[in-house]
């Protein structure tokens, strides 16, 4: 840490100053981190999209600036030219809808009177446990979510030091969904980078930063809101989530309902799957937001948690994943946009190479115009894109009736899109390439781990090969056509 801080401050700085700065920055970092051993629950692996990043990626969080080399990242003769990152917002508050349901459940417990059983009465403990969430919080980014982003920024900067160099700071390009939690995530990420460049100095307002605040672009980051076919056939279609509804009333959920009704001593008819789910999520919210293990976690055991995880995954599968083709096809604008960035980087890099061969004073290591592109969105942004690229596809669909068969499914949203999840494309330029085609290579990282490519299962691909594998999507998928409703013969309105 000392060494790293010293390096950043430059060799000219007196060692005492470097030491003071290192101490300051490590103090600041420690107070941001909170307890080094985060509060855990046995239920933590089953929270689906409400999973904490550190539960998926343990070991990453403790010293975000520790120099890190992923042995699977390309090194040596290949240097990263560009990084395009899609980042889900950090930890957030429950939505107003979830808070309303929680209040309903809380009211139910308070109304039920004191339990007859003496001793440990969970229902009474929950009735007395403060609700802790108010409507205004409605899905906003929490302090822990800002910390998620700052730390991700620090880790990415230490993983790709050349791309996140001080001189590239003004070249960063940030894009975000219009939702507050995403805009705020982008700002927190920039503040994390500021901390990296200027340890100990308080960050300025994001508007005053060199690269400016993240630009809002919902067409890209919330493409699902702009796809008429998706909206009609899935989002607003009462029967599209048939399997979710059927599972809610199926035997696995009914079991839990009966069990919870007995535990909390409330009539089973007062409960339903939605209230059970909100109780489960409240355990996850209290852990992720407040770092406390609340009595809500004591309502469930691991078997219950597995069932509730499946319920959450079923919804993601049919609404955002492989369940319907349009779910993933609606993301092809975003997919194409990523490859447009990469194409442009390849072109620029080739031009720079040519220049530097003609004019040796022209440095070969000159960065391209946008070496780092950061895009902030949602689980709903990442899941369709990963599905489009062919990831996490099980042989059989997830249905209301194959819970047991799907115990070992690939599609587990908690592993794919926890809070602060990120999908990163890294374009490399390789010096010793034998052919021009071999000069440009790509790696993908999901949640900071190298993601094997769908076509080869390798950790790296020639850029041309990757483009070739996805040529159907790159050439044959146009949102204007994909998202058009079949033969609706009315005056088409502008989207
Ligand atoms: C709603 O979803 C069901 C099930 O996928 C489908 O059969 C039906 O055509 C959809 N309705 C509309 C209006 O798209
Ligand atoms: C709508 O219907 C009319 C009459 O059937 C037809 O001539 C026209 O081509 C249709 N338009 C579209 C967009 O399908």
pLDDT at residue 471 tops 80: yes
pLDDT value at 314 more than 70: yes
Residues 6+ apart with CB under 8 A from 489: none
CB of 233 sitting under 6 A from ligand 1: yes
User: What mean pLDDT comes out for the span 450-456?
Assistant: 95
Q: Are strands 461-462 and 440-446 parallel, antiparallel or unpaired?
A: antiparallel
pLDDT bin (cut points 50, 70, 90) of residue 21 is: very low
- Class of residue 168 by CB neighbours under 10 A (exposed 0-12, middle 13-18, buried 19+): middle
**366-415 residue pLDDT tens:** 788 999 999 999 999 999 999 999 999 999 999 999 999 999 999 999 99
Is 375 strand, coil or helix?
Answer: strand
Confidence of residue 152 (pLDDT cuts 50, 70, 90): very high
Do 151 and 422 touch, CB atoms closer than 8 A?
no
For 393, left (φ over 0), alpha (ψ -120 to 50), or beta?
Answer: beta
Mean pLDDT of the chain: 88
Please give the average per-residue pLDDT across 359-369, as a whole number: 75
For atom 2 of ligand 1, the residue with the nearest CA is: 240
Annotation says 196 is catalytic: no
Starting from the CA of residue 318, give the closest ligand.
Answer: 1
Contact 366, 404 (CB under 8 A): no
User: What number of CA atoms fall less than 13 Å from residue 491's CA on the CB side?
Assistant: 2
| Cα distance between residue 12 and residue 6, in whole Å | 9
User: What element of type H or E holds 87?
Assistant: strand 78-88
Residue nearest to atom 3 of ligand 1 (CA): 240
Taking each helix axis as running N to C, give the angle between helix 302-319 and helix 273-285, from 0 to 180 degrees, rounded to the nearest 10: 100
Q: Count Cβ atoms below 10 Å from residue 381 Cβ, excluding itself.
A: 26
For the cut 50, the answer to whether the pLDDT of residue 15 exceeds it is no
Query: Which atom in ligand 1 lies closest to the alpha carbon of residue 238?
Result: 1
Q: Which residues contact 301 (CB under 8 A, 6 or more apart)?
A: 42
Which residues in 279-326 belong to E strands, given as ranges? none
Q: Using the mean position of ligand 2's atoms as its centre, give its distance from the Cα of residue 490 in Å.
A: 8
Atom of ligand 1 nearest to the CA of 242: 4
Indicate if ligand 1 lies below 6 Å from the C-beta of 240. yes
Residue 414 is predicted with a pLDDT of: 97
Backbone phi, psi, residue 372, to 5°: -135, 120
* Consecutive H or E run containing 5: helix 2-9
| Strand partners of residue 425 | 84, 444
Can you tell me which residue has the tokens 């909170």?
34
DSSP per residue, 162-174:
TTT-GGGGGG-EE
Tokens 């990282």 correspond to what residue?
Answer: 445
Q: pLDDT value at position 396?
A: 98
Sign of the torsion angle spanned by Cα atoms 251, 257, 258, 263? positive
- Give dist(CA 202, CA 219) in Å, integer: 34
């Amino acid at each position: 840490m000392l060494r790293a801080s010293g390096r950043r401050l430059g060799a000219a700085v007196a060692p005492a100053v470097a030491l003071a700065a290192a101490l300051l920055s490590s103090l600041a970092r420690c107070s941001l981190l909170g307890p080094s051993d985060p509060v855990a629950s046995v239920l933590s692996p089953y929270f689906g999209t409400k999973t904490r990043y550190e539960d998926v990626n343990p070991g990453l969080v403790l010293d975000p600036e520790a120099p890190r080399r992923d042995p699977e990242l390309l090194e040596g003769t290949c240097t990263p030219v560009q990084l395009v990152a899609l980042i889900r917002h950090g930890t957030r508050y429950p939505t107003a809808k979830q808070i309303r349901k929680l209040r309903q459940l809380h009211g139910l417990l308070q109304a039920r009177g004191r339990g007859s059983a003496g001793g440990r009465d969970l229902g009474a403990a929950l009735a007395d446990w403060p609700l802790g969430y108010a409507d205004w919080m409605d899905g906003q980014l929490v302090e822990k979510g800002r910390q998620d982003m700052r730390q991700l920024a620090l880790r990415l900067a230490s993983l790709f030091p050349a791309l996140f160099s001080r001189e590239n700071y003004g070249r960063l390009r940030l894009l975000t969904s219009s939702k507050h939690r995403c805009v705020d995530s982008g700002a927190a990420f920039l503040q994390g980078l500021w901390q990296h460049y200027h340890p100990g100095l308080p960050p300025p307002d994001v508007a005053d930063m060199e690269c400016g605040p993240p630009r809002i672009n919902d067409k890209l980051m919330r493409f699902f809101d702009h796809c008429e076919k998706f909206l009609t056939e899935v989002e607003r279609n009462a029967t599209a989530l048939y399997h979710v509804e059927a599972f809610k009333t199926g035997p696995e959920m009914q079991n839990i309902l009966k069990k919870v009704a007995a535990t909390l001593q409330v009539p089973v008819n007062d409960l339903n799957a939605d209230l059970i789910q909100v109780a489960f999520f409240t355990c996850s919210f209290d852990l992720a937001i407040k770092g406390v293990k609340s009595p809500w976690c004591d309502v469930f055991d691991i078997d219950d948690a597995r069932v509730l995880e499946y319920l959450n995954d079923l919804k993601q599968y049919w609404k955002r994943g492989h369940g319907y083709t349009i779910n993933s096809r609606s993301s092809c604008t975003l997919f194409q946009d990523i490859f447009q960035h990469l194409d442009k980087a390849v072109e620029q890099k080739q031009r720079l190479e040519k220049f530097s061969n003609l004019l040796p004073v022209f440095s070969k290591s000159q960065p391209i115009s946008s070496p780092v592109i950061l895009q902030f969105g949602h689980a709903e942004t990442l899941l369709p894109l990963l599905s489009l690229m062919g990831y996490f596809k099980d042989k059989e669909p997830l249905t209301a009736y194959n819970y047991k068969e799907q115990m070992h499914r690939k599609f587990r949203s908690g592993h794919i899109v926890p809070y602060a999840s990120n999908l990163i494309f890294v374009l490399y330029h390789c010096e010793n390439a034998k052919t021009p085609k071999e000069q440009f290579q790509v790696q993908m990282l999901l949640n900071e781990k190298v993601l094997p490519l769908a076509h080869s299962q390798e950790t790296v691909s020639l850029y041309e090969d990757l483009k070739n594998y996805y040529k159907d999507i790159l050439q044959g998928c146009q949102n204007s056509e994909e998202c058009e409703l079949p033969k609706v013969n009315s005056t088409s309105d502008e989207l």
